[in-house]
């Protein structure tokens, strides 16, 4: 009974018309795509079926973000901690970008989307790395939405790598400690060139960061939904943007 009421409530919630203003669209939306496994389990199917359907949600989210005029969309696809999952699941997840790009790259090019990747790509299996590199190369001159995949990405690893690189530069005498600024660090992270996310979305009801963009989300607005990632569609993105537009961003000051 309780479950039925909850479902009714969430369906009712989805039916509310969502109004957003075209003037205050978040430039950079970052999404922690979570809940693929639970989505599948609920249907009595193996976890990988959830990942397969998650891929369709990636397409929906990309088109929706493009339609709304979002400039940068970062999708957390695989974390540095996800290697601890069973090998079969990891292998499946590593084949997904290959499949996704084989199906979607031409349309992404048509839509003027620029594909990027952030994370430790050297450690990816060669077929995954090659597919990503090809997509990046073929979309390099596109000027539309920037679709940035966080693949083998970890916020702490990124900061660790940055600190090591800065330490080496100091040791080599080409950088002084006084020259280290927030801007310099920004430029040395794998998100270099992207503005900080304005809006961070996480699906599946979890309310944690799971090592995602720890430096960059200092002043991002957060939006959570109970929907599992394979269910995510344009309505969810619009709900998130509508909520974002109701927020007052103060950055520690007074408005
Ligand atoms: C998100 O779904 C995809 C990845 C983390 C790669 P999950 O696989 O984490 O699904 P749940 O959270 O176990 O349901
Ligand atoms: C975060 O989801 C990583 C990605 C979405 C790629 P997880 O499912 O790995 O996070 P935890 O384990 O629930 O924190
Ligand atoms: Mg998860």
151 assigned to some structural domain? yes
The CATH number that applies at residue 88 is: 3.40.1180.10
Catalytic residue IDs:
34, 82
C-alpha of residue 112 to centroid of ligand 3, in Å: 31
8 assigned to some structural domain? no
pTM for the predicted model, two decimal places: 0.94
34 labelled as ligand-binding?
yes
pLDDT value, residue 101: 98
Is 10 a residue whose pLDDT tops 80?
Answer: no
C-alpha of residue 47 to centroid of ligand 2, in Å: 14
C-alpha of residue 172 to centroid of ligand 2, in Å: 38
58 assigned to some structural domain? yes
Whose Cα sits closest to atom 8 in ligand 2? 34
pLDDT more than 70, % of the chain: 94
**pLDDT by residue (tens digit) across 155-177?**
999 999 999 999 999 999 999 99
Coil, strand, or helix at residue 150?
strand
252 assigned to some structural domain? no
How far is it, in rounded angstroms, from Cα 121 to Cα 36? 23
Q: What is the domain extent for residue 224?
A: 23-243
208 assigned to some structural domain? yes
Based on the structure, what is the number of domains in the chain? 1
Whose Cα sits closest to atom 11 in ligand 2? 210
254 assigned to some structural domain? no
67 assigned to some structural domain? yes
Q: Which ligand is nearest to the CA of 207?
A: 2
Tokens coding 233: 């569609």
pLDDT band at 255 (very low <50, low <70, confident <90, very high): confident
**pLDDT by residue (tens digit) across 198-222?**
999 999 999 999 999 999 999 999 9
pLDDT value, residue 7: 55
Q: Are 239 and 100 in contact (CB under 8 A)?
A: no
11 assigned to some structural domain? no
pLDDT value, residue 17: 74
């Amino acid at each position: 009974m309780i479950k039925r009421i909850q479902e009714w409530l969430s369906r009712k919630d989805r039916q509310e018309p969502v109004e957003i203003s075209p003037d205050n669209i978040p430039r950079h939306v970052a999404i922690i795509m979570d809940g693929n496994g639970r989505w599948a389990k609920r249907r009595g199917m193996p976890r990988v079926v959830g990942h397969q359907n998650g891929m369709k949600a990636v397409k929906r989210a990309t088109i929706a973000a493009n339609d709304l005029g979002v400039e940068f969309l970062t999708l957390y696809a695989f974390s540095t901690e996800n290697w601890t999952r069973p090998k079969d699941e990891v292998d499946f997840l590593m084949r997904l970008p290959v499949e996704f790009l084989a199906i979607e790259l031409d349309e992404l090019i048509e839509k003027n989307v620029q594909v990027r990747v952030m994370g430790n790509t050297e450690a990816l299996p060669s077929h995954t790395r090659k597919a990503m590199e090809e997509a990046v190369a073929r979309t390099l001159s596109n000027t539309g939405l920037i679709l940035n995949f966080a693949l083998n990405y970890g916020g702490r690893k990124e900061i660790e790598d940055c600190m090591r690189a800065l330490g080496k530069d100091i040791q080599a005498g080409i950088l002084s400690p006084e020259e280290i600024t927030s801007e310099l660090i920004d430029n040395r992270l794998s998100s270099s060139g992207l503005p900080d996310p304005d809006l961070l979305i996480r699906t599946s009801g979890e309310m944690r960061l799971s090592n995602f963009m720890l430096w960059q989300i200092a002043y991002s607005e957060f939006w959570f939904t109970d929907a599992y990632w394979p269910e995510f569609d344009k309505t969810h993105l619009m709900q998130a943007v509508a909520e974002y537009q109701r927020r007052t961003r103060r950055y520690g000051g007074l408005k």
